[in-house]
Amino acid sequence: MSRTRARSSTPAHSIPPGTLPSLVVGVVCLAAYQALAPAVPGDKDSGEFTLVLATCGLAHPTGYPLYTLAGSAFVRALHALGMTWAQAANAFSALGGAVAMAGVHALTARLLYRSVPSRNPGLFALLPVLALALHPVWTQEATLAEVNSWHLAWVMVAALAALRLGETLARADRAGRPAAGAAAAWGLVVGLGAAHHATSVLVSLPLTLALLLLARRHRRIGPGAVVAGIAGLASGLSSVGYVAWRAHHPAAEQWPELEATAAGILAHLDGAQFRSFLGRFAPSAIQQTRLAQWVYPLLVPALAGAAAAWRPPASGATAVRHAFGAAVVLQTGYAFLYGVSDPSPYFLTALALGLALAAEALCSWRPARHAAVAPALAVALAITMAPGLRAAQARAEAYAQLDDLVRRMWGAIPPGRAFVVWDDDMASRLRALQQLESSRADLVVIQPRHLSHPQPRKRFMREWGFDPVARWPDEARGEGAGTERGVRLAVESIVTTINEGSSLPLYVFRPDVPSLRLIQKHAGDSAAVTTGIPAR
């Protein structure tokens, strides 16, 4: 056995890493994220998730049933203690963020434990935390109602579990004994991850392959282990039944496209509506700036860490570490091939795992063992990432201002039943005002583009007696479908059709202008009428 192999399979430090330092990291991060979290919903899906958690509803595909069930209980408890719904929903993400950062520290410390001696293993373990804890892309997820802080928390729990199970499977004194307990535990971890976020497969797949390799090498696979693994997986996945149940028992806040059929439920669970994003990279201008400033500079050492994870020896003891490297590459590739306008959160898993691997590789590198290296890197990272604190504060202030503006605009809508059209995901804020604050239940909030889909369209026709997409513009068909102009004209045609099909007043709600417009009823030229919608 080579000297390197001997080092890699024997702990270099006599005392295994304890949980207390990681717990301290988690508590500090929880306090920080709670302090940085605004008392209002944020942008993007935050308003929807806040409302879903408060009402135990159902979010957009893939439904996030585990997040919804656990988060709803958490949010209701905090609300009962006096928090607003938005504060409670944001606090749930803060808790997920704290668990994730504690996990990043614990994982790095355990990787270092398997590495060569260093004078500052504790400080090396802190480096990935210092790089990520105040990272603006991360604090957006850890201070607002979103699913990604809990996803990273799961990634870290899965990584730690894989390390532990890998060691258990490789124990010489248990060779030949089927590892049913380990299989059940790993199946449960994989199932929980899949129930929370579809991209968990990018982590669970390589880790499962590594564990299977170890189990096979040490003759620890048997029918009992396979059955136990499947049972654990099914148990972890059980919360997806909530999506099926909600399809037949709709909540007040529910993704409107969900169809109460087996095909509709499956389409919701597998995110079929978002497959069109696959295969391209299309960040918005603001995201391009954010990626260049905050993500790519850390992605370089993260990918270097992934590459270093595959350094020899390719033994069973390092199979799990190799799988971490593979997960970093898979997650990075996915982020570059998912064409949403805001891809930055999809890099977080690669950054966290990759930076943990990079810290371990750096600690193993002889020139980096100088006593000054780890403190110098820690100080440099702290200084570099310090602006992230101000960015998170400024973001929270901005969201509070936006919430104030939205509330004043909402309050300015004249009394009486009316349609309020806001062609933006933030329309969920208006539904939250209705459902959580009993404000203006007489108003009908419309996100027009949703009405072009079968289920919302059918419901609208049942309730109002006319088809909101009956006057679909020719420019939005064929080659025009999906183009910016085609979509704009289609949305305008829906607004016009509703306005003319109903006797109720129709207001176009545009906080970004800001503008609140009453569209006049008119029997004339519909194209002219639609110009009443202000340009963005």
Sorted by sequence, the CB contacts under 8 Å of residue 368 that are 6+ apart come out as 118, 362, 374
- Residue 61 vs 71, nearer CB to another protein: 61
Residue in 285, 438, 479, 503 binding another protein, rule: CB under 8 A:
285
Strand pairing class (418-421; 515-519): unpaired
Distance CA 30, CA 443 (A): 38
Radius of gyration for the chain, computed over Cα atoms and rounded to the nearest angstrom: 26
First to last CA, the chain: 67
Does 484 help bind another protein (rule: CB under 8 A)?
yes
CB of 373 to another protein, least distance (A): 36
Per DSSP, the residues of 74-142 read: HHHHHHHTT--HHHHHHHHHHHHHHHHHHHHHHHHHHHHHTS---S-HHHHHHHHHHHHTT-HHHHHHH
Residue in 257, 304, 315, 418 binding another protein, rule: CB under 8 A:
257
Please provide residue 11's backbone torsions phi and psi, each rounded to the nearest 5 degrees: -55, 130
Residue in 114, 233, 450, 500 binding another protein, rule: CB under 8 A:
450
Please check whether residue 367 is in contact with residue 115, taking contact to mean a CB–CB distance below 8 angstroms. Answer: no
- 2 burial via Cβ count (<10 Å: 0-12, 13-18, 19+): exposed
Does 151 help bind another protein (rule: CB under 8 A)?
no
CB of 171 to another protein, least distance (A): 47
CB of 246 to another protein, least distance (A): 18
Which residues on neighbouring strands pair with residue 112, listed in sequence order?
none
Per DSSP, the residues of 376-405 read: HHHHHHHHHHTHHHHHHHHHHHHHHHHHHH
Does 105 help bind another protein (rule: CB under 8 A)?
no
- Residue 80 vs 285, nearer CB to another protein: 285
Residue in 171, 280, 390, 458 binding another protein, rule: CB under 8 A:
458
CB of 342 to another protein, least distance (A): 4
Does 475 help bind another protein (rule: CB under 8 A)?
no
Please provide residue 106's backbone torsions phi and psi, each rounded to the nearest 5 degrees: -65, -40
Does 476 help bind another protein (rule: CB under 8 A)?
yes
Binding mask 165-204 for another protein (x = CB under 8 A): ----------------------------------------
Does 464 help bind another protein (rule: CB under 8 A)?
no
- Residue 380 vs 527, nearer CB to another protein: 527
CB of 259 to another protein, least distance (A): 14
CB of 446 to another protein, least distance (A): 13
Q: Tokens 């004339």 label which residue?
A: 524
Distance CA 142, CA 148 (A): 8
Interface of this chain with another protein, residues 338 to 367, rule: CB under 8 A: 341-342
Interface of this chain with another protein, residues 383 to 412, rule: CB under 8 A: 394-395, 398-399, 401-402, 404-405, 408-409, 411-412
CB of 418 to another protein, least distance (A): 11
Binding mask 289-328 for another protein (x = CB under 8 A): ----------------------------------------
Does 463 help bind another protein (rule: CB under 8 A)?
no
What burial letters (b/e) apply to 376-405, b meaning 16+ CB within 10 Å? ebbeebeeebeebbebbeebbeebeebbee
Half-sphere exposure of 491 (CA within 13 A, CB side): 22
CB of 132 to another protein, least distance (A): 19
**Segment interacting with another protein (CB under 8 A) among 316-324, 354-362, 430-438, 527-535:** 527-535
Interface of this chain with another protein, residues 17 to 76, rule: CB under 8 A: 43-45, 48, 60
